[in-house]
Amino acid sequence: MSKLLIVGTVAFDAIETPFGKTDKILGGAATYISLSASQFGVESGIVSVVGGDFPKEYLRKLNARNINTDGIEVVEDGKTFFWKGKYHNDLNSRDTLITDLNVLADFKPVVPKRFIQPEFLMLGNLHPAVQMAVINQIPVRPKLVVLDTMNFWMDNTWDQLMEVIAKIDVITINDEEARQLSGEYSLVKAAQKIYEMGPKYVVIKKGEHGALLFHEDNVFFAPALPLEEVFDPTGAGDTFAGGFIGHMTRTEDISFENMKRGVIAGSNLASFCVEKFGTERMENLTHDEIQERLLQFKLLTQFDIELG
């Protein structure tokens, strides 16, 4: 079985949506990615850092889903990364109110021995220098390296981000970030500019409007499932990425055709994430629920039409 190594924040989040607000709850890019990828029965491990304030119970929640947390360093006298965000009424956009890097500021990642040779590597959202330090510790290039990032790192660590983007195969970002990264408004042009930075595949997430997968002159579109209720979009992008890389790791097939299925798997999982606050929905999700919704995805997009 292929191994999946996930890098990213493990965090406290405080979230405000039109439906309510939470105080510090479990969050972080690596948390959402790993919960999502765990649905594919792959062997996964996280590299990250938390402070002494991080409840052991949260680590146990991850372990319960067969996610290896040996690579999560605990800095006993430090504080965990903290993010606070507030969503606008349409839930499609949000303001970041607080980003406290805390222990992430001086983090020197160490990849545990068991994961030193992963076949699949997911560089989730965090400092690009940490993403790079992980790449540099892995002696044999993984089959597929996927990177996710956000405007915060484009604004604050542009050069380091460019260095790491040059080394990856697939980038997953949202539409606003794709425009910022490329300086292009058209997402087709944005993808072409991003190819020049390194990745051969570009995935652009458009929230409730689905996701686009670009490779050379090919484009594939996966819709988002129209949902009756969206409670909290936090982590949807990471859950999408976790579904994508989880599917790729389980199938071990890195063709464009299979990436299309990966994008559908990601959209499917993200549709669950937004139904409850924080990680709650992802912690209790079952295989049957996922399969049922995959069928809905199929029915949503299948049609017969006569050409000519």
Question: Residues in the site for ligand AMP, rule: CB under 6 A?
Answer: 9, 11, 13, 27-29, 83, 99, 125-126, 150, 152, 234-238
Of residues 9 and 182, the one with the C-beta less far from ligand AMP:
9
Of residues 119 and 123, the one with the C-beta less far from ligand AMP:
123
Of residues 119 and 131, the one with the C-beta less far from ligand AMP:
131
Q: Kindly state the smallest distance separating residue 12's Cβ from ligand AMP, in Å.
A: 8
Residue 30 burial by Cβ neighbours in a 10 Å radius (0-12, 13-18, 19+): buried
Of residues 29 and 224, the one with the C-beta less far from ligand AMP:
29
State the Cα–Cα distance between residues 292 and 78, nearest whole angstrom.
43
Measured from the Cβ of residue 149, the count of other Cβ atoms closer than 10 Å reads 24
Check: CB of residue 168 under 8 Å from CB of residue 147.
yes
Of residues 109 and 119, the one with the C-beta less far from ligand AMP:
109
Of residues 29 and 181, the one with the C-beta less far from ligand AMP:
29
Q: Is 296 helix (H, G, I), strand (E, B) or coil?
A: helix
Q: Which residue type sits at 242?
A: G
Q: Kindly state the smallest distance separating residue 85's Cβ from ligand AMP, in Å.
A: 7
Q: Kindly state the smallest distance separating residue 140's Cβ from ligand AMP, in Å.
A: 27
Of residues 83 and 244, the one with the C-beta less far from ligand AMP:
83
Tokens of 219: 């484009």
Of residues 99 and 137, the one with the C-beta less far from ligand AMP:
99
Q: Kindly state the smallest distance separating residue 139's Cβ from ligand AMP, in Å.
A: 26
State the Cα–Cα distance between residues 237 and 213, nearest whole angstrom.
14
H runs (alpha helix) in 138-213: 151-156, 158-165, 175-182, 187-197
Q: Kindly state the smallest distance separating residue 228's Cβ from ligand AMP, in Å.
A: 20
Q: Kindly state the smallest distance separating residue 14's Cβ from ligand AMP, in Å.
A: 10
State the Cα–Cα distance between residues 64 and 68, nearest whole angstrom.
9
Q: Kindly state the smallest distance separating residue 255's Cβ from ligand AMP, in Å.
A: 26
Closest by Cα among 299, 203, 302 to 256: 203
Q: Kindly state the smallest distance separating residue 274's Cβ from ligand AMP, in Å.
A: 9
What pairing do the DSSP bridges indicate for beta strands 67-75 and 43-51? parallel
DSSP code per residue over 214-281: EETTEEEEEPPPP-S-----TTHHHHHHHHHHHHHHHH---SHHHHHHHHHHHHHHHHHHTTSSTTHH
